[in-house]
Structure 1
Amino acid sequence: MASGNPLQTIDISSIDTYTGDQMFKAASSQGFLFIEGHGFSQQEVADLFDLSKQFFELPSAYKQRFMIDETNHGYTDYGGENLDPSTQKKGDPKEALNFAQLNLVTADAIKDYPEWFKEDPQREHIIRNTILKMNELNLRILKLLAIGLKFEDTAECKGADWFDSRYRKDKPSGSTFRLLHYPCPAKVDPESVIRAGAHTDYGSITLLFQQAQQEGLEIYSPVSKSWEAVPFVENNEAKFPGQAPPIIVNMADQLSYWTAGLLKSTIHRVKFPLEAQRAGRDRYSVVFFSHPNDDTLLEPIPSEMTRNIKNRGANKNKLITSREHLSQRLNATYGWKN
């Protein structure tokens, strides 16, 4: 772990017991970690961020033609999302574009992409390719977590494969790909202005790309019981030449719920670092929110590690599905009534 970095960096280029154990250690302590050996090149990620910046520079009137709705697909304007209503009265000062309820075989979303992405086939290719590769990373991480959690073999499958039938690519899920832009106003108080309010993520695993000199992510560490800044980490060129920097991974609510809280869905937020404020730098990030298939019951996992935990897993009298859980969280975030 690098100095000033609260998170462990794990090489996931091999699926084995050692890597699974390291993944479990990080996920059950901080709930956040970095992964290297992920297979994304520097050029792929640079092209992705260039594309995101170009989209957010489009006129507001155009972007507002694709406003987000109850499907969780579309554009969110400044203040349109409020992740922490207890502290943010006007909503978060950011904008975002969601590609939601994805077909993870084709990278189609529940609704069509904005026409701008189709005007140049390369734009659409970048988005589709990124979605499919991030989902493959998600499946790899889930397998490593199953190994680290010592999932037992069942009549249904081998323990390491338990998640496979719950994350089928051809079935509906709440998985969402998101482009984010956090503008930096000329005059702000870096100690009081929150770009994204304190929250936990709704699904199972979140994958996050961020860029150098655009930091701002903070976690409320379950270890130190305090807010800690997550830095940008450079790629280890000697080990992974030409690869993009390590990707941030965090556990989210449904995976924590599945494991009786053993894996930590850690509270996090985005703030204006003083250095970024002085330089007037905006922040761009790219996120993949992984969700199980909609009809997946959030039932106890087949692991001795969680079997004796009090209040283990879901409410035994009423199991809820992944879709029901997501709907509850989205209703609270956007104020939707149905």
Structure 2
Amino acid sequence: MSRSSAQIPVIDISSSNPHAVTQLLDAAANNGFVFVENNAAAGMPPSKVETMFGLSKQFFHGPIEHKQECPTQNNRGWVSMQQETLDPGNQKRGDFKEAFNLGEFNGNKPNQPLPKPFSTQVDTVADFSHSCHALCNKILQLFAEALEIPSDWFSCRHDQSEGPSGSIMRLLYYPSVPDTLAPDEDDIRAGAHSDYGTLTLLFQLPGQPGLEIKTPSGEWESVPVDPHGTLLSDPSKPLPILVNIGDLLAYWTNGLLKSTVHRVIFPKDARRGGEDRYSMAYFCHPLDEAELVPVPSKRVEQYEGGAEGVRKEGQTMTAKDHLLERLAATYGTKA
């Protein structure tokens, strides 16, 4: 049975839309997900996105030796098939996916070893990462305006010139699965989880569905790849960028902004082993030493919903403390 489709608004964040601030806050407060029009204001030209998808496909279909040169260390490098388990309490097997995690860059210099083809296109990869971070900061400034706090309250805590952060560009490949590994009905491509950081940008390709979000009633709804539904009539129109709220932004705002649980499934209308799916996610994190203190917003103070806290008794956690705890749960290790 097909899932109902999630009603996620598409918002133009350019100055031509005087309602962008209110629309963003409403979407984040209602379900934690929003599409942002990929126009000039977003700063992500379709050609730039297409180039990165091309490099991603080259890597995942390249020699295994190139992947093995950069195994996962400190949340960077290659994640092999079923290495991760995002929902360990409910999954029988690890996630049916591969990934490559790219950390932040110092200028155009990577802070990790890069395999081919990324090592031969460092400037391109660095430029894409910087563009993603710039878009996140723009969105965070709009949220600051909506919450009536200083415009740089969030962005100054994400200023990568001031120190390291946990921000990651994650290239994802969900391969079709051969019959010998065909998933059981309950197996999924990426287990149910909320994102660990502040904001996530997700870039998708046409005709590759599978993402679902969990509603407040506990039901799953599918997320459209093309919310406009116009690609068939105008293939040149860029897909909007999907943005979702992470745990830290939810915590900073006492749950006013929702960090929504989501997952990636094998589409029900596809064959049992699914079809290939590619996506790219930019996980925006604060500086490692940023303290998880409440946002000084009257609107947040007056909100009574509450969020699952990451602050321990008598202790204010840092962004790095929180990230390490979440990663430990994902990989089954001690933080």
Task: State the TM-score, normalized to the length of structure 2.
Answer: 0.87
The CA distance in 2 between the partners of 1:167 and 1:182, in whole Å, is 30
Which residue pairs with 1:19 in the alignment?
20
Q: Deviations over 1:159-198 (max 9, x none)?
A: 2221132111212100001100001124446853300000
Q: What displacement does 1:55 show?
A: 0.4
Which residue pairs with 1:137 in the alignment?
135
The CA distance in 2 between the partners of 1:284 and 1:81, in whole Å, is 17
Q: Deviations over 1:87-113 (max 9, x none)?
A: 22331111000012x13x515443122
After superposition, the Cα gap between the structure-2 partners of 1:59 and 1:267, relative to the gap in structure 1 and judged at 3 Å, is same
- Give 4+ residue runs of structure 1 displaced > 4 Å after superposition: 186-191, 234-237, 240-243, 309-316
Structure 2 counterpart of 1:79, from 52, 62, 82: 82
Aligned 8 A contact 2:211 2:223 in 1: yes
**Equivalent residue of 1:244, what SS?**
coil
- Percent of aligned pairs sharing the same letter: 42
After superposition, the Cα gap between the structure-2 partners of 1:192 and 1:279, relative to the gap in structure 1 and judged at 3 Å, is closer
Aligned 8 A contact 1:31 1:264 in 2: yes
Which residue pairs with 2:318 in the alignment?
321
The CA distance in 2 between the partners of 1:143 and 1:316, in whole Å, is 31
**Equivalent residue of 1:208, what SS?**
strand
Which residue pairs with 1:196 in the alignment?
190
Q: What displacement does 1:139 show?
A: 0.3
Which residue pairs with 2:124 in the alignment?
126
Structure 2 counterpart of 1:58, from 59, 62, 74: 62
The CA distance in 2 between the partners of 1:130 and 1:201, in whole Å, is 21
Q: What displacement does 1:317 show?
A: 3.0
**2:154 matches 1:163:** yes
Q: What displacement does 1:147 show?
A: 1.4
Question: How many pairs does the alignment contain?
Answer: 320
RMSD, aligned α-carbons: 2.5
Q: What displacement does 1:61 show?
A: 3.1
The CA distance in 1 between the partners of 2:194 and 2:108, in whole Å, is 25
Which residue pairs with 2:253 in the alignment?
259
**2:91 matches 1:99:** no
The CA distance in 2 between the partners of 1:166 and 1:68, in whole Å, is 26
**Equivalent residue of 2:128, what SS?**
helix
Higher deviation after alignment, 287-296 or 316-325: 316-325
After superposition, the Cα gap between the structure-2 partners of 1:22 and 1:316, relative to the gap in structure 1 and judged at 3 Å, is farther
Alignment of 1:227-306 (within 5 A): 227-233=220-226, 244-277=238-271, 281-306=275-300
Higher deviation after alignment, 302-311 or 141-150: 302-311
Q: Deviations over 1:172-231 (max 9, x none)?
A: 100001100001124446853300000001000000001111110000023x54100001
**2:48 matches 1:40:** no
Aligned 8 A contact 2:214 2:262 in 1: yes
Unaligned runs of 5+ in 2: none
